[in-house]
Amino acid sequence: MNYSSRKKNKTVKYIVLHYTGMKNLKLAYDKLSDETSNVSSHYLISRNGTIYNLLCPKYKAWHAGKSKWKNNININDYSIGIELENKGHDFGYTKFSNRQYNSLKKLISFLKKNFNILNENIIYHSDIAPNRKKDPGEKFFMNKIDINRFNKKKIKDIYNVDDMLELYGFHKNYIKNHKIFCIMSVKRTLNYKNINPSQSRKFLKDFYNLLFE
């Protein structure tokens, strides 16, 4: 098992959701617990709803990799990682099971209480590393765990895409260097079936409605 201690000034405020992206549960479980794999996570939820607690959240797991969100870098320092069993885009991406959603909902409500985590801080791996990661992906529905991440703002000014990407939470560096990936990441959050970088009128409208009242 890979882990580090948490630094005193870097406390948990995010939950990062992932999919395992591996052919089966055993491969994922073994990889997450293997010291030579360089990855680990606090929790793993199988398709049948079993929650595996792999590491106590008081320690830092290695699930996020190189990552940025808002003004934070290295999101492992500030987060709890939850992996959902799913073959992922490379091996046959499927919808998440209802049992997975039910277990995730219970786990998140437990963690929210214990770590004072806000709904807006329940985020995706694709948000914090849009140039590298697609998970948990467009088949993950946050409303199935009764979480609404976005506190819709009342501002009625017209925003350009860069402003909206920043308001969504992307780090400025990603907006500058990986804007296309940021847009595709938002499309995954919006559960689009077809993920491409086009800034269609529909996309801009959906994105605006995600952020504003």
Q: Which lies closer to Zn ion via its Cβ, residue 18 or residue 187?
A: 18
Helix axes 161-168, 201-211, angle to 10 degrees: 40
Query: In the chain, what's the furthest Cα-to-Cα distance?
Result: 51
CB of 4 to Zn ion, least distance (A): 18
Q: Closest-CB residue for Zn ion?
A: 18
Could you tell me the smallest distance in angstroms from the CB atom of residue 176 to Zn ion?
A: 23
Identify the active-site residue in 35, 83, 166, 213: 83
Q: Name, in order, each residue with C-beta under 8 angstroms of 106's C-beta and a sequence gap of 6 or more.
A: 51
CB 3 within 8 A of CB 55: yes
138 labelled catalytic? no
Query: In the complex with Zn ion, which residue's Cβ is closer, 68 or 125?
Result: 125
**Between 135 and 138, CB nearer to Zn ion:** 135
Q: Choose between 4 and 209: whose C-beta lies nearer to Zn ion.
A: 4
Residues that bind Zn ion (CB under 5 A): 18, 125, 135
Residue 64 Cβ vs Zn ion, minimum distance, rounded to whole Å: 7
Looking at residue 127, its amino acid is D
Q: What is the DSSP string of 58-119?
A: TEEP--S-S-EETTEE-GGGGEEEEEE---HHHH---PPPHHHHHHHHHHHHHHHHHHT--G
Residue 13 Cβ, how far from Zn ion at the closest point, in Å? 18
Q: Which residues are catalytic?
A: 83
